[in-house]
Amino acid sequence: MKRSNRLVALTNFFLENPRTHTQFPYFVSQLDTTKASVSEDMDIIDAVFRSEGIGYLQRTTGAGGGVKYIPARVHEKNKLFVEELRRKLEDPARILPGGYLYMSDLLGDPKTVREIGRVFASAFSEMDIDVVVTVATKGIPLAYAVASFLNVPVVIVRRDPKVTEGSSVSINYVSGSSRKIQTMVLPKRSLSEGAKVCIIDDFMKAGGTITGMINLLEEFHATVQAIGVLAEADDEEEERVIDDYTSLIKISNVDMKKKYIDVHVGNLMQ
Amino acid sequence: MKRSNRLVALTNFFLENPRTHTQFPYFVSQLDTTKASVSEDMDIIDAVFRSEGIGYLQRTTGAGGGVKYIPARVHEKNKLFVEELRRKLEDPARILPGGYLYMSDLLGDPKTVREIGRVFASAFSEMDIDVVVTVATKGIPLAYAVASFLNVPVVIVRRDPKVTEGSSVSINYVSGSSRKIQTMVLPKRSLSEGAKVCIIDDFMKAGGTITGMINLLEEFHATVQAIGVLAEADDEEEERVIDDYTSLIKISNVDMKKKYIDVHVGNLMQ
């Protein structure tokens, strides 16, 4: 295959297979070329990925040597994206009864969701993560976006056991905002013992939901490596119970009467 | 920018922006090159995309001329993927009480989900679709995968109104399997009047859930252009109420006693 064609095929391959170690002989045989040519292709792709800010190629030499695409976008580009998101969230038309913000339009846009996933994946790209865990419903698209860049599966914690998932482990926890006792369920089959987990959710107030997830994950002897929330907001009645987390957006004040929202960038950008 | 570098940058651009019309002057200025060179780049990318079976570039000439990446994968490749999926689903260890099949491992794998999205998007790529609609919870990742290839937003129908989404429209419907009256809700803001909709769900028996969605969508004067379900299964008690749909997998018999499942490819592959 000619260099130009190889570059298109290889670019597609890397983008579809992030964080996957692939040995050189695979490319040599697939692209019908030499190791030296593949190596030059990698140099070109690596340079463009870096200048486009979409990550880089990590190479290992020697026997079993190969290459891995690390989809870590440069901080500057992530910052621009998060700032744009912040501006969109500032719109007073988003204020809903109860001091909530309407975000379904942003969370419904696959491109925005993918970009949010890219920001989290950039922050967590060097970590040892086996699985992304989220809770139904709103965290689901974000979790898949992060997982697709980290190249790991997604496990969804539910608030009600589903007949179609077999036997399950459940816990009860107290929700921060409603003070009600709630349930969380994870099918036994869905998570292997001792998994290294990244928790992703859309919104965090006091952190009761995330504490619930951590407790449930303890039943599987899982290790929580990272916690990422799209937006955090202060809870007036309760202090935050989670302190080691990554947020993209921080909502510090929603004034229903004056129709004003105070939206900042989250701790990842500070 | 040199041709090799342009090819990498352009490949990334097209893959990230399917079904988006982009005019040539944009590429000429972004890549600091000539229209003739960009045109040659397109020829190369188009040829590789076709030979890799991941779609093609659709060009329009004249004033306002440009190019659009159509992510329609060739039927042969889609067929291979669906056949592999069918084989995985045949495993008797998937049988759950009630004749359900455990599919969470497959639906939890972002790569499998993305490939399922690609198959549906290939089938619907020439249709005029404004939005993908699904119902919480299991259809969500599939809906995002389809939507990301079609380059349209996702709207999620819920079974309970959420305080964080504002005023909503709801309907009641009778569930095929449980014969219970259920509710479906869609926030008013989430869907514009007269939208052209593609419905995506993971599983369909008699089709009660999808009928419910269609009824709810009628309240928004939406037009249902396509219905895609990952797996269809016969309902022993009730006849199917939906007949114009696309399925990837057809489960025709689950024998709990003999631990045997009869899984076929769905109507898209027949």
The string over A187-224, giving b where at least 16 C-beta atoms fall within 10 Å of a residue's C-beta and e elsewhere, is: bebbbeeebebbbbbbbbbbbbbbbbbbebbeebebeb
* Between B22 and A236, residue with greater pLDDT: B22
Q: Please give the pLDDT value at position B164.
A: 67
Alpha carbons B82 and B266: distance in angstroms, whole number: 9
Assess whether pLDDT exceeds 80 at residue B165: no
- Residue in A98, A114, A163 nearest the CB of B98: A163
Alpha carbons A268 and A188: distance in angstroms, whole number: 33
Asked if A96 lies within 8 A of B164 by C-beta distance, the reply is: yes
What value does the mean pLDDT take over residues B259-270? 92
Residues 6+ apart with CB under 8 A from B82: B119, B248, B249, B265, B266, B268, B269
Interface check for B44 against chain A (CB to CB < 8 A): the answer is yes
Asked if B165 lies within 8 A of A45 by C-beta distance, the reply is: no
Alpha carbons A154 and A143: distance in angstroms, whole number: 7
Residues 6+ apart with CB under 8 A from B117: B142, B144, B145, B146, B147, B148, B149
Q: Please give the pLDDT value at position A176.
A: 62
Alpha carbons A248 and A89: distance in angstroms, whole number: 12
What are the C-alpha distances in Å from B121 to residues A45, B80, B268?
28, 16, 12
Q: Give the pLDDT confidence of A54-105 residue by residue, as tens digits.
A: 999 999 887 778 999 999 999 999 999 999 999 999 999 888 877 778 898 9
pLDDT band at A264 (very low <50, low <70, confident <90, very high): very high
Choose among A134, A76, A147, A124: nearest CA to A246. Answer: A124
Assess whether pLDDT exceeds 90 at residue B270: no
Q: Give the pLDDT confidence of A143-187 residue by residue, as tens digits.
A: 999 999 999 999 999 988 766 677 899 999 877 666 788 899 999
Choose among B77, B173, B83, B70: nearest CA to B124. Answer: B70
Asked if B96 lies within 8 A of A166 by C-beta distance, the reply is: yes
Domain with CATH 1.10.10.10 in chain B: 3-70
Q: CB pairs below 8 Å between A and B: how many?
A: 158
Strands A100-101 and B223-233, by their bridges, are: unpaired
What value does the mean pLDDT take over residues B10-33? 96
pLDDT band at B235 (very low <50, low <70, confident <90, very high): confident
Strands B260-265 and B246-255, by their bridges, are: antiparallel
**Which of A42, A100, A103, A104 to probe by mutation at the B interface, max B CB count within 10 Å?**
A104
pLDDT band at B177 (very low <50, low <70, confident <90, very high): low
Alpha carbons A71 and A64: distance in angstroms, whole number: 22
The string over B148-182, giving b where at least 16 C-beta atoms fall within 10 Å of a residue's C-beta and e elsewhere, is: bbbbbbbbbbbeebbebbbeebebebeebeeeeee
Assess whether pLDDT exceeds 70 at residue B178: no
Q: Please give the pLDDT value at position B210.
A: 94
CATH number for B3-70 (one of 1.10.10.10, 3.40.50.300, 3.50.50.60, 3.40.1190.10): it is 1.10.10.10
pLDDT band at B84 (very low <50, low <70, confident <90, very high): very high
Q: Please give the pLDDT value at position B5.
A: 97
Average pLDDT of the residues of chain B: 92
Q: Please give the pLDDT value at position B166.
A: 78
Least confident among A48-57, A83-92, B100-109, B138-147 = B100-109
What value does the mean pLDDT take over residues B191-206? 95
Asked if A148 lies within 8 A of B102 by C-beta distance, the reply is: no
Q: Please give the pLDDT value at position A148.
A: 97
The DSSP letter of residue A158 is B
Facing residues of B260 across strands?
B255
Question: Is ipTM strictly over 0.90?
Answer: yes
Interface check for A71 against chain B (CB to CB < 8 A): the answer is no
Q: Please give the pLDDT value at position A102.
A: 87
Indicate the class that CATH gives domain A75-269. alpha beta
Assess whether pLDDT exceeds 70 at residue B146: yes
What value does the mean pLDDT take over residues B238-252? 89
Token match 């489960």: residue?
Answer: B251
Tokens of residue A121, six digits: 């994946």
Q: Please give the pLDDT value at position B241.
A: 82
Chain A CB contacts of B104 under 8 Å are 155-156, 165, 187, 189-190
Domain with CATH 3.40.50.2020 in chain B: 75-269
Facing residues of B255 across strands?
B260
What value does the mean pLDDT take over residues B221-235? 94
Assess whether pLDDT exceeds 80 at residue A117: yes
